[in-house]
Amino acid sequence: MVLSIVILVLCLVGFAAIHSLLASLPVKRFIRGALGSKADDLYMPVYNLIAVITLIPLVYLLYKNPGPFLYIVPSPWRWFMVGGQVIAAIVGPRALRDAPQRFRLRGQLSTPNTPDAAPLDIRGVYRWIRDPFLFSGLVIMVLTPFMTVNLLIMYLLTTIYLVMGSMHWESRLVAQFGDEFREYQKEVHRIIPRLKGYKKSSRKL
């Protein structure tokens, strides 16, 4: 059991290292310098594909070595939990659609008041929460209708990685959008959704 946990942790660390490296600004600058404007359209699909491919071994190992079960939620409650997971999983694609300017490679390498800069333009799911990816990830983990020892360890480590990644991502957004994002941070929580949507909006792209 200890060996399976060590292997799982190493796989997760490997995934996190590859994921973080590809998301780093030096690598993004290198990619855009090598591919030019083509990188703006290619980066995100390739990045997401690599993330999925590198995640497959971890999922397989968890499937083969789940460890002792801690609990299994009985029906019908498990189906309510799965329904919540499905709803949370929809937030990710919606978040990408609601803020495309945050994920364009050219924009990520820009700073306020530069030719490639874009307005923050708060809309969609971002009116209620600052980091919908962190929120959806936590919801999916919490609503898992069963739990094993190995899965719990992976969830705890993944939570730490997601929180650290969210903090790093927001520092990038501050660099990209400046005071506009700092003002937004004061009004909208990172994880806990607002009951009332954020109303201030920038000019459209």
- With left for phi above 0 and alpha for psi between -120 and 50, is residue 173 left, alpha or beta? alpha
Q: How many CB atoms lie within 10 A of CB 37?
A: 10
**pLDDT for 90-101, tens place per residue?**
888 888 889 887
Domain extents in the chain? 2-187
Give the pLDDT score at 205.
34
Q: pTM for this one?
A: 0.86
DSSP assignment of 57-72: HHHHHHHH---SEEEE
pLDDT at 70 over 90: yes
By percentage, how much of the chain surpasses pLDDT 70?
97
Give the pLDDT score at 7.
87
User: Is it true that the peptide bond before 145 is cis, omega within 30 degrees of 0?
Assistant: no
Give the pLDDT score at 167.
92
Which of helix, strand or coil describes residue 116?
coil
